[in-house]
């Protein structure tokens, strides 16, 4: 007998209802008052791409929209991120990059796809230069998990990363902002003292703790049951897991970048908790499902209405 958790996870209306819920949260979070329409549009595109990642890579063995639903729920919970267009763009660039990278599994002769995947990261770096810290890790993961690394692929990734700056450099030079561009690029070498949480407030702590909890539940579940998935699916999840762990360490060490990194962490976490919700069916996991729903609603309300 299917439990309520499984009925929701396999429902064809789950994503539609989740989208209506997210619209309601965004409305309460200042969609109209603060003119957040562009940020909401980016969220819509990101949600669609998360659905495509799930569908094209069979991240969940049964029909389920839990990956995109989890992404919507977690992103809408972090209401303090709503006004940040920068965070929305970086999040979308990361998802787009993943969408492309997952298509080059065991394909060492697709420099075009590699170029576009890292072009997305290059665009993200224009807004958040620290995203380049993830690039060496991503090269390693593409080599060992996607098994798609070669000299041509490496060169294509370098070209993709620097392409946005080929356009920005002459533009900034002729508009008199070249020094600002140089300062932006060199800021990648600037580290603030470690563990500086002065800018953190209760909303940040609670939201971060919950996303960490969800990530832990999803990753532990996946590690225990990964043998049931195809090898390709396992490699994708392992790539996401290492990217997620790196993001958590980054947040802990350099919390001044918390808001953008939280958006990236949500992208990496959503497939894991979606996998957990769709493919578990015990009494304990059903209770966990209810508890997660309650906590998401509570934290969303707290972020919306408590100063």
Mean pLDDT, rounded, for 56-81: 95
pLDDT tens profile 200-235: 999 999 999 999 999 999 999 999 999 999 999 999
The two three-digit tokens of residue 288, written as one number = 């966990």
User: Does 1 have pLDDT greater than 70?
Assistant: no
Q: What percent of the chain has pLDDT over 70?
A: 100
Identify the residue whose tokens are 């979308």.
92
* 117-131, 173-187, 258-272, 290-304: segment of lowest average pLDDT: 173-187
The pLDDT of residue 175: 85
Task: Quote the CA–CA distance of 179 and 182 in Å, as a whole number.
Answer: 5
Average pLDDT of the chain, as a whole number: 95
Task: Quote the CA–CA distance of 213 and 9 in Å, as a whole number.
Answer: 20
Could you tell me which residue, 197 or 118, shows the higher pLDDT?
A: 118
The pLDDT of residue 191: 82
The pLDDT of residue 264: 98
Identify the residue whose tokens are 């990648």.
188
Task: Quote the CA–CA distance of 38 and 157 in Å, as a whole number.
Answer: 29
The pLDDT of residue 199: 86
Count of positions (residues) in the chain: 307
pLDDT tens profile 69-103: 999 999 999 999 999 999 999 999 999 999 999 99
Task: Quote the CA–CA distance of 296 and 77 in Å, as a whole number.
Answer: 7
User: Does 2 have pLDDT greater than 80?
Assistant: no
- Residue 174 confidence class, pLDDT cut points 50, 70, 90: confident
Dihedral pair phi/psi, residue 228, rounded to 5°:
-85, -10
The pLDDT of residue 37: 97
User: Does 198 have pLDDT greater than 90?
Assistant: no
The residue among 1, 24, 103, 11 whose CA lies nearest residue 66 is 11
Task: Quote the CA–CA distance of 165 and 182 in Å, as a whole number.
Answer: 10
Mean pLDDT, rounded, for 156-184: 91
User: Does 5 have pLDDT greater than 80?
Assistant: yes
Q: How many CB atoms lie within 10 A of CB 181?
A: 16
Q: What percent of the chain has pLDDT over 90?
A: 89
Contact assessment for residue 115 and residue 65, using Cβ atoms and an 8 Å cutoff: no
């Amino acid at each position: 007998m299917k439990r309520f958790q499984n009925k929701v996870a396999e429902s064809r209306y789950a994503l539609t209802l989740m989208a209506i819920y997210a619209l309601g949260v965004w409305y309460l979070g200042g969609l109209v008052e603060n003119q957040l329409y562009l940020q909401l549009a980016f969220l819509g595109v990101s949600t669609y791409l998360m659905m495509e990642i799930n569908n094209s890579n069979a991240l969940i063995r049964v029909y389920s929209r839990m990956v995109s639903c989890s992404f919507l729920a977690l992103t809408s919970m972090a209401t303090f991120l709503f006004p940040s267009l920068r965070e929305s763009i970086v999040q979308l660039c990361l998802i787009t990059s993943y969408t492309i990278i997952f298509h080059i599994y065991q394909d060492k002769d697709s420099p075009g796809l590699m170029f576009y995947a890292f072009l997305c990261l290059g665009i993200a770096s224009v807004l958040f230069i620290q995203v380049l810290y993830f690039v060496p890790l991503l090269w390693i993961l593409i080599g060992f998990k996607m098994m798609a690394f070669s000299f041509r692929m490496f060169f294509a990734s370098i070209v993709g990363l620097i392409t946005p700056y080929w356009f920005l450099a002459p533009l900034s030079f002729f508009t008199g902002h070249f020094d600002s561009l140089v300062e932006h690029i060199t800021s990648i070498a600037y580290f603030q003292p470690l563990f500086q949480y002065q800018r953190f407030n209760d909303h940040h702590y609670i939201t971060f703790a919950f996303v960490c909890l969800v990530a832990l539940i999803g990753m532990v579940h996946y590690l225990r049951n990964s043998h049931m998935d195809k090898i390709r699916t396992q490699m994708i999840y392992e790539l996401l897991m290492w990217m997620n762990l790196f993001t958590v360490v980054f947040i802990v060490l350099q919390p001044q970048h918390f808001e953008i990194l939280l958006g990236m962490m949500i992208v990496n976490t959503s497939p894991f908790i979606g996998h957990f919700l769709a493919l578990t069916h015990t009494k304990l996991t059903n209770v966990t499902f209810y508890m997660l729903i309650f906590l998401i609603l509570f934290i969303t309300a707290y972020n919306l209405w408590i100063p």
